[in-house]
Amino acid sequence: MESRTAIREFIVDNFMMGREASDLTDGGSLLDLGIIDSTGVLELVGFLEETFSITIEDSELVPENLDSIDNLVAYVARKTE
């Protein structure tokens, strides 16, 4: 599956249980939209590590890497290069 689809599906299934999937645009900030908080981010990290066989350092836990679908896709692409 394309990483974008997989990431979107995970976010919709795990963080948007009470919302419409259409609320989430590819560039929208997961923090600003209230989709992911500081406890939820660890769930996301677990998913990324397992799905894409990568290891995420603490220093990489920043919004620039993780705060939108676009950022996530780019980040995963860099890590799996």
Partner 1 sequence: MCGITGYLELSEKKRPDYNLIGRMVQSIRHRGPDEFGAFFDGHCAFGHARLSIIDLSSGQQPMTNNDRSLWICYNGEIYNYLELRKDLEKLGHRFKTQSDTEVIIHSFEQWGNDCLARFNGQFAFAIYNRDDKTLMIARDRLGIRPLFFTQIHDRFYFASEIKALFCDPTIPRKIDLKGLDEIFTWWTTAPPRTAFENISELEAGCYVTIQNGSIRKHRYWSIDFPETFDTKRSAESFAEELHERLVNSVRLRLRADVPVGAYLSGGLDSSATTSLIKYHTDTKVESFSVGFEDSAFDETSYQQQMADYLGTSHHAVKITYNDIADNFPEVIHHTERPILRTAPTPLFILSRLVRKHNLKVVLTGEGSDEIFGGYDIFKETLIRRFWARQPESKMRPLLLQRLYPTLPISGARAQAYLERFYKSGFEEIDTYYFSHIPRIKTTTEVKNYFNRDTQNNINGHDAISVFGYDLPKHFNTWHHLLKAQYVESRSLLSGYLLSSQGDRVASAHSVEGRFPFLDHELVEFASSIPPLYKIHGLNEKYILKKAMRKELPESITNRVKQPYMAPDANSFTQPDSPPYVSEALSEQSIKEAGIFNPEYVNKLYSKCLRMGDRRLSFKDNMSFIGILSTQLLSKQFITSLQSVPTPERSEFKVWVDISD
Query: Which spans of this chain sit near partner 1 (rule: CB under 8 A)?
Result: 13-14, 17-19, 31-32, 34, 37-43, 46, 58, 61-63
Residue 7: CB atoms within 10 Å: 23
> Do the Cβ atoms of 61 and 45 come closer than 8 Å?
yes
CB of 13 to partner 1, least distance (A): 7
Q: How far is the CB of 26 from partner 1 (least distance, A)?
A: 19
Q: Write down the least CB distance from residue 15 to partner 1, Å.
A: 8
